[in-house]
Amino acid sequence: MLVRVGKMADKTASKPVGTTPQRLRRIEGKHNALVKELRQAFARAELTTDGYCAIEGLRIIEEAIRSGLRFRAVFFSESAGPKAERLLPQIGAHVETLMLPDKLFAGAVPSETPQGVAALVRLRESSVDTLLEKPGLLIGIAGVQDPGNLGTILRSTEAFEAGGVLLGEGTVSPFNSKVVRASAGSVFRVPAARVKLAEIIPRLREHGFRVLATSSHKGIPLEQANFTGQVAVLVGSEGAGIGRELLAKVDDVVAIPHSPKVESLNAGVAASIVLYEAARQRKS
C-alpha cells in the first residue's frame, strides 16, 4: 500500500520526485527501515528475516519482473532517472518505489559497476522433497565457493532443462548478488535447496536416482557415461574437487577429457559441459 507522507522531523521525510510523484518517494536518511534492510541483505548475502533477497541492476530486475516474483520495494539512485521511467510502468502499484541520493544508494548497494537500481524480491521456495520428486537430472554442488561459477551452473541448469540444484555444504549462498548477476536471472526460476550431500545420497537412491560425480583426472569418459533416467551429478569445488568420503558414496565417476596442459576445468564450465551432454542424450 502506498502511503502519502507529510512533513516529518527526521531525515526520512518523503517528497515527490521527477515526473512521477505518485510513485517515487525520496529518502534522505540511512536509517530508513527499507534502506537498512537492503544494505543488510547485500552485506550478508542472505535473505532478510522475512524472506526477501536483495538484487541490483536493470536487467536483473527486469528478469525478476518477467519471472513473476513478488517485490517488496524498488530503489533508484538520484542519477538513475531514465531507469525509473523505464521500470515504473512494469512494477505493480502496490510496490514501494524509493529515490535515494547517489551517496546513500552507493552505501547500501555494494556493486563494482552500480546501475542505480536495486530491489527486495521474494524468491520462490524449493524443498528437498520437491526436488526429489522431479523426474530427470539434478545437479549437486559440493563446496563451490566462487559466485560466478555457481551463477553459471544455475544458468546452464535452466538452459539445458535439468530439474534443479542441490546446494551442498561450503557452497556460496545463492542469494549472493554476484551469483544472482552471473545467473542472468536463472536463480529466480531454477529450483534449488540446501542439503548435506552425504546425507541426501541415500534419499536420492530411494527415489530411483543414480549418483555420479565429476572428476578432472579419472573416471568414465563423458561421452560413454549414461545420463538417461533419474540421475544426480555432483560437481566439486574449484580447487579441491569432490572429497574422498563423498566420492566413496557415488555410483560412478565421470571425467571430461581435456588437454593435459590444463590441470582442471572450473566448476561452472565442467557443469555446463555435463549438462549439455546429458541434455543431448536425453533428447536422442
pLDDT in tens, 225-279: 999 999 999 999 877 788 889 999 999 999 988 888 887 789 999 999 999 999 9
Averaged pLDDT, 192-212: 96
pLDDT of 240: 74
Q: What local confidence, expressed as pLDDT, does residue 215 receive?
A: 86
Q: Band the pLDDT of 196: cuts 50, 70, 90.
A: very high
Confidence check: pLDDT of 176 > 90? yes
Q: Give the closest residue to 37 by CA, choosing from 123, 109, 114.
A: 109
**pLDDT surpasses 90 at 57:** yes
Q: In this model, does residue 155 exceed pLDDT 50?
A: yes
Residues 224 and 228: their CA atoms lie apart, in Å, by 12
Looking at residue 38, its pLDDT comes to 97
What element of type H or E holds 204? helix 197-206
pLDDT of residue 16: 42
Q: Of the candidates 157, 133, 166, which has an alpha carbon nearest to the alpha carbon of residue 278?
A: 157
CA dist list (Å): 26 to 4, 99, 101, 138, 205? 12, 5, 8, 45, 55
Domain 128-283 of CATH type 3.40.1280.10: yes
| CATH number of 24-122, picked from 3.30.450.40, 3.40.50.700, 3.40.30.10, 3.30.1330.30 | 3.30.1330.30
pLDDT tens digits, 2-35? 333 333 334 444 444 444 445 788 998 889 999 9
**Percent of the chain residues topping a pLDDT of 90:** 74
Any idea where the domains of the chain sit in the sequence?
24-122, 128-283
Q: Are 25 and 74 in contact (CB under 8 A)?
A: no
Percent of the chain at pLDDT > 70 equals 92
Q: Would the pLDDT of 128 be above 80?
A: yes
Mean pLDDT score, 90-101: 92
Higher pLDDT residue, 83 or 9?
83
